[in-house]
Amino acid sequence: MYRRLSAKQFGSLCKDKGDDVPELTIERQSHDGRGIARQKGKTTFVEGALAGETVQARITKKHRRFDEAVCEEILTPSPQRIEPDCEYYAKCGGCSLQHLGLEQQREVKRDALVDQLQRFGKIEHIPLHEPLLDESWGYRRKARLGVKWNRHGELIIGFREKASPHLTPIQHCKVLMPQLSALIPSLYELIPELESKKTIGHLELAQGDEGSAIVVRHLKKLSHRDLTLWQGWAQTHNTRLYLQQGDAHSLTSPDHEDAQELHYKLEGLKLAFLPNDFVQVNPAINAQMVQRALEWLAPTSEDVVLDLFAGFGNFSLPVARHGAKVVGIEGEQALVNRAKENAASNGIENAEFHRADLSQSFKDLPWAKQGYNLLILDPPRTGAQNICQQIAQFKVKRLVYVSCNPSTLARDSAILVQQGYKLQKTCIMDMFPHTTHVESMALFERA
C-alpha cells in the first residue's frame, strides 16, 4: 500500500502556493530527479513524482517556458516507488531520491549522462562502460552540519530543508559513515552548555582511515571554559578538534601548533588532508575511480602526464607511482603545498605541483610549455571550458575527464571533439547514492 504524499512531506517547497492543483501524468524523470509532465503544451517539473505516475500537483512557481510543482497526492503510483529508509527524508534536503529504488536511481543517472552527451555534446553513439558502484548507506566521510536555535529556544543541528534556508533537525544520518553519525547526539548535549552556543555557525565532520575530526566554525573567540568543554568532548569521542574563526585559512588545532592532518590509503599510498580540504567524500568509489583512470590512461615510465585540478594528489600520486612523470596543477596554494608534502612523505620524486588559475589563459606559463601525452581533468561543477579550448596545444594522445556535472561535461565534450578527440569510453559513478548528483568519467583519444 502506497501512502498518500502531501506537500508538507517535501519541506517548504510550497512557499509560493498557487490555486492550481492539476492532475498530471509524469512522462519521465528530469536530471535532478523531478518528474516531468506536459500540461496544455507547457512542461511542468514535479518534485516527488516518478515516471509513469499520475499525481495531483500544486503549482509553486510559474515561468514563461515551464512551471514548477510539488506532488500533493499520488493517484497512480509507480511500481518503482519505495518507502524511504530515512525518517528525515520528507524534509531534509540532503537526499532527494530515496523514494526511488537504487537500481532505478542509477538508471536515471545513466540516462541523464547519455541524454546530455547526445543533445549537447553532439555525440550520437555513447560508449557506456560498467558503472562504479558500492554501498548506498554509510558512505560519506565528510559533511557540513548547520547549527541554529529556533524561536522556541531549541537547538537544531542538521542539513537544510528541501528548497529552504531552514534546517531539518537530525539525530543521525544514514548516508554518513557510522562513526560520524554517532557523534551527532552528543553535540546536542554539549552545545547548550557553551557560553558561545549562539555564535557557532556550522560544524564540519570528516573521517580519515585512522580517526574522526570536527571543525567548529565560531564567530567569536572561544572562552577558556568553552575551549575546555570542546577539548573534553573531543577526547571522550576520540575525535580531533579543529577551530575556525574566519576564513578557511584560519583553521587551527588547539592541541597542536599546526593543524594535524587526516589520512586515507589509496593505491599503496597514504594521502594526508585537512577536514576543510576538498576531498572525494565516498572513499570506496574514489578508489574505484582512480583505479579506472589508471586502466584507461595506461601510464608507463615513458609518459608525461598533466593533471589539472590536481587537489592534494588524489590522481597525480597514484599515476606517478606507476612510473609516469606527473605535473599537477591546482588553483589553491594550500592544496599545492599538501600535494608536495604527500609526494615527499610517500617517497615520490617524479611528481611536481604548481599553482595556477585554470580559468585564465595558461599557454605562456612554464609548466604549459612542457610536452605531455596524457592528461587528467577533474574540474568543479562549472567544468573545464577554458581548458578544453586550449587543449590542442598539448596534443595528448589520451585524456580522462572526471565530471560532477553532466551538462558541463557535454559542453566540454563537444569542444574536445572539435579539437580532434573522440569519446572512447564513459561511465557513471554512484558517488552520492540517494541523491541526484551525477558523477561520471570519460576517456577521450586523439582521432
Angle between helices 406-418 and 102-119 (to 10 degrees): 40
Neighbours of 277 (CB within 10 A): 19
The residue type found at 23 is E
Whole-angstrom Cα distance, residue 329 to residue 311? 8
Measured between alpha carbons, how far is 98 from 136 in angstroms, rounded to an integer? 10
**What nine digits make up the cell of 88?**
528525515
β-sheet with 142-149: strand ranges across: 167-169, 155-160, 142-149, 200-208, 211-218, 239-244
Selection from 91, 82, 85 nearest residue 2 by Cα: 82
Coil, helix or strand for 200? strand
CA angle 7, 9, 10 (to 5 degrees): 70
**Could you give the CA distance from residue 173 to residue 159 in angstroms, rounded to a whole number?**
10
3-state helix, strand, coil in the chain (%, to 5): 25, 30, 45
Give the DSSP H/E element, type plus range, for residue 188.
Answer: helix 184-190
**Among 14, 71, 404, 427, the one annotated catalytic:** 404
User: Which residues, at least 6 apart from 305, have a Cβ–Cβ distance to it below 8 Å?
Assistant: 297, 299, 316, 319, 324, 325, 326, 327, 372, 373, 374, 375, 376
CA–CA distance, 284 with 139 (Å, rounded to integer): 8
Helix (H, G, I), strand (E, B) or coil at 211: strand
Give the full edge-to-edge strand order of the sheet including 304-308. Answer: 351-355, 325-330, 304-308, 374-377, 398-403, 439-446, 421-429
Tally of residues, the chain: 447
CB neighbourhood size of 232 (10 A): 12
Reduce the DSSP state of residue 436 to 3 states and report it.
coil
Catalytic, 14? Answer no
- Residues tagged active-site: 404
